[in-house]
Structure 1
Amino acid sequence: MSISDHALKNDFPEFAANILELRKSDDDFRKLSDDYDSLDKKIRGLEVRDVPTDDQHFNEMKLERARLKDTLYKRLTRY
């Protein structure tokens, strides 16, 4: 199985400058992006180590990551 790194800078390279600027100037954006990065690392860690986790928990984590990404994307496009 291929494990994708869904870091914001990888998924939205066209917004790299905005990501850096918002992380410096917007505490809420920084917290959301930190939460997103942390959750993405947890998900990738489980995938890489093939750690047993129930499907519901794993799917909930992925849904939360998608929700955070959508929120961050909206903030990036409005910046």
Structure 2
Amino acid sequence: MFPEYRDLITQLKTSDHHFVNLFDRHNDLDQKIKNLEAQVVGATHEEIEQLKKEKLHLKDQLYTILRKASAS
């Protein structure tokens, strides 16, 4: 995710608690979605879609933080 910001992500993961929480939640959702789609755990299509929307919202928030941090 965001390879162009790899160094900045590393920096923010050590200095920005809010960023870390969003980043970890995004990764947790990503893994949960993969498990659901692979039918490791049962879920409806609607449940999976809701998780994907939440994940996308988190990704948008992370991108906003990265853009602001890179402009500073």
* TM-score normalised to structure 2 length: 0.87
Residue 50 of structure 1: how far off its partner (Å): 6.0
Q: Does 1:16 align with 2:22?
A: no
Unpaired stretches in structure 2, ≥5 consecutive residues: none
Q: Which residue of 2 aligns with 1:45?
A: 35
| Superposed structure 1 runs of 4+ greater than 6 Å apart | none
Unpaired stretches in structure 1, ≥5 consecutive residues: 1-10
Q: Which residue of 1 aligns with 2:60?
A: 70
* TM-score normalised to structure 1 length: 0.80
SS at match of 1:49: coil
SS at match of 1:19: helix
Query: What letter matches 1:49 in structure 2?
Result: Q
Residue 76 of structure 1: how far off its partner (Å): 0.5
SS at match of 2:38: helix
Alignment RMSD (CA, Å): 1.3
Offset from partner CA, 1:15-70 (integer Å, 9 cap, x none):
00011100100001001101111011100112233644212111100000000000
Identity of matched residues, %: 36
